[in-house]
Structure 1
Amino acid sequence: MSDTSIRDTLKAEMKTAMKARDKERLGAIRLILSEFKRIEVDERIEIDDARALAVLDKMVKQRRDSVQQYKAANREELAAVEEQEIAVIQEFLPTPLGEEELRAMIDEAIANAGAEGMQAMGAVMAQLKPKLQGRADIGAVSKLVKTRLAG
């Protein structure tokens, strides 16, 4: 991203959605901004872009879980609402990493950690997590790292 923060981008997009009378998009953006505000009030902090990415990532995960539950309960209309929110939230996340890029980053982190076996897991994940926030599913990355370290 450029010099504008994620919050500034969200506020600009909120105005655009209001002018376009796009209720669904506006609702999703307001949800994001209210979650930022809730965290700031609860934790008495100001959210920076790194934390904003973590929050957006978590919001996407929560909605994916909801989609699965709604589909399992044959509530397609509710699942559709969640999927629409996921699409809006993902617009504010960086482009997801491709599998090749991800594997290269994992290899590099393992080499940098200089350790072998499962005892290196924490060191490798500590290197990867800040680089991957919002760009890859950390749980899936963790499984890949475990596989590599075990192999």
Structure 2
Amino acid sequence: MSLNDRLTTDMKVAMKNKEKQKLSVIRMVKSSLQNESIKLGHDLTEEEELTVLTREVKQRKDSLQEFDKAGRSDLVQNLDEELSILTAYLPKQLSEEEVELLVKQVIAETGATSKQEMGKVMGALMPKVKGKADGGLVNRLVQKNLS
């Protein structure tokens, strides 16, 4: 079942159960997927859907940090709920140990030895962890292993 089909099914369930928050988040994601499809001029592949979903999660995490700094606990709670709804659609996240293992493998494959070659490592690594690990975590682990 594609992401769009899952979202449509969950949207119907949310309507029946009168879950306003979940319904709002699902509609927002469906809208983002539709906009991306129009922008690209074709139906989205699974990878493109995952990119859009990851972008939505990242936007909310960034907003969450900003609202937390500003002391807006009402907005923080709302974004926490949205994040929990969105993360249900992401693939299972890799643990830090699994990501570190992948980082070491890619460093060995690319033969990188210094931080100057970080771009080469990140370029080879990111497609492998796309949607399965936070980019910040990956970046930090690559820097740690290249120093």
**Structures share a fold, TM > 0.5?**
yes
Mapped to 1, the partners of 2:106 and 2:72 lie a distance apart of 42
1:44 alignment counterpart: 41
How many residue pairs match? The answer is 147
Q: What are the within-5 Å matches in structure 2 for residues 46-61 of structure 1? A: 46-61=43-58
Unaligned runs of 5+ in 2: none
Give the superposition deviation at 1:119. Answer: 4.1
Residue 106 of structure 2 aligns with which residue?
Answer: 109
CA distance in 1, matches of 2:85, 2:4: 14
The structure-2 alpha-carbon separation of the partners of 1:142 and 1:72, relative to structure 1 and needing over 3 Å to count, comes to closer
Runs of 4+ aligned residues of structure 1 deviating over 6 Å after TM superposition are: none
How far apart are the structure 2 equivalents of 1:116 and 1:69? Answer: 36
Structure-2-length-normalised TM-score:
0.90
Amino acid at match of 2:6: T
1:9 is matched with which residue? 6
Counterparts of 2:97 and 2:39, CA distance in 1: 39
- In 2: Cα distance, 1:61 partner to 1:88 partner: 13
Partner of 1:144: 141
Match of 1:88 in 2: 85
| Deviation of the 1:93 alpha carbon | 0.4
Contact 2:118 2:143 in 1 (8 A): yes
- Classify the secondary structure of the residue corresponding to 2:36: helix
- For residues 148 and 110 of structure 1, the distance between their equivalents in structure 2, rounded to whole angstroms, comes to 8
What's the C-alpha RMSD, in Å, of the aligned pairs?
A: 1.5
Q: 1:62 aligns with which of 47, 50, 59?
A: 59
TM-score normalised according to structure 1 size = 0.88
SS in 2 for 1:77: helix
Q: C-alpha offsets along residues 80-107 of structure 1, whole Å, 9 cap, x if unaligned?
A: 1111111111000011111211111111
Aligned residue type for 2:23? L
- What letter matches 1:143 in structure 2? R
